[in-house]
Amino acid sequence: MTGLIISANEIFDGVKFHPQAQLVVENGKVVTIEATDGRATEHIDGIIAPGFIDLQVNGGGGVLLNTHPTLKGVKTIIAAHRQFGTTAMLPTLITDTVEVMTQAADAIALAIAEDVAGVLGIHFEGPHLSVAKKGAHSQEFIRPISGAEWTILSRTDIGQIKVTIAPENVGVKDIKRMVSLGIKVFLGHSNADYATTQAALDAGADGFTHLFNAMSAFTSREPGMVGAALLNDQAVCGLIVDGHHVDYASCRVALKAKPVGKVLLVTDAMSVVGSDIERFAFFDREIIKTGTRLNSSSGELAGSALDMASAVRNTHKYIQQPLGIALKMASLYPAQYLGVADRIGQLQVGAQADFIALNKELVVIGSWIAGN
């Protein structure tokens, strides 16, 4: 491919801001960030930043991975979120049958084989969860782990596998087996007490799915899963910053409690993102969008209508985080967690040129993957 030089009022490289700078790209890789010298063929009246990375994306563009577990479905979800700055993701399958899990895995394998830009692997959110904390997940499909699921989890053609499990229903032995397979084990949709949660962390689990939501609460005499998540310095926490799932003050508590780099922005997005649909079928229920909130016909929150650019804006404006931190929570920090920060999540020399352009209102006005 040919080279690219693009300038901006500011370039955020994932670590620091460069004022009045230009990004030089060659063969899809970052060559340098340097002072503007007039060679740029395009100027952004705003900010260039690393592309966003989302570890929990159920759908977008009018489709869910559950209802469209196909290569076309994956491509639709990727395209829907790219317009909001997400250049890499783990498409996420909500609790479903073994058959749908297999179809989703096959779709991800095809996407990776075809080098579909932005697909890092797959996130299985369930089915080994707590019925008491199922949220919008379908109780009929929540089940113990079996050989059928192990067959899927043992696959080596679907990129990075991430799972969300309830540790009261998935034992330490199984968690250790998952970790030995290279699987990222998150805890969530769980009513586990502090001790059970800590045992899972000791076994190798190292993350929490949508902190505060669908997990045992922090109380005076039982710290619960929330307490374990906040106290553990190694584990990361996904956080949905949409103003509906978690109060903004609680978000600030999480950021004060956790070490730098251990709170990641996730969207938990459903099919409405990048689409004009206002309601859709979800198993035996209907999901209805009211403003920026999604509820199922049975009342509970059901994923989100959040895109990552909005999550970054909310983090900056309402959680009162510096813009650089908000951007890192959506790019560098998830890349570091996945162990791919040498390749994506920051605009360092030699990294893949995955970047976005934001205007002065922090609205995405362009995105590039490998310089395209």
Q: Which residues does the annotation mark as catalytic?
A: 268
| H/E run at residue 366 | strand 364-368
Q: Are 226 and 211 in contact (CB under 8 A)?
A: yes
| H/E run at residue 324 | helix 323-329
- The CA radius of gyration of the chain, in Å to the nearest whole number, is 20
Q: Where are the alpha helices (DSSP H) in the chain?
A: 71-82, 98-113, 147-153, 172-180, 194-202, 224-231, 248-257, 308-317, 323-329, 332-338
CA dist 186 and 163 (Å) reads 6
Strand partners, 293: 290
CA dist 356 and 121 (Å) reads 21
CA dist 59 and 186 (Å) reads 20
Going 322 to 328 to 330 to 334, the CA torsion angle's sign is negative
| H/E run at residue 312 | helix 308-317
What does each C-alpha distance from 68 to 45, 63, 165, 284, 368 come to in angstroms?
38, 6, 23, 16, 26
CA dist 106 and 71 (Å) reads 8
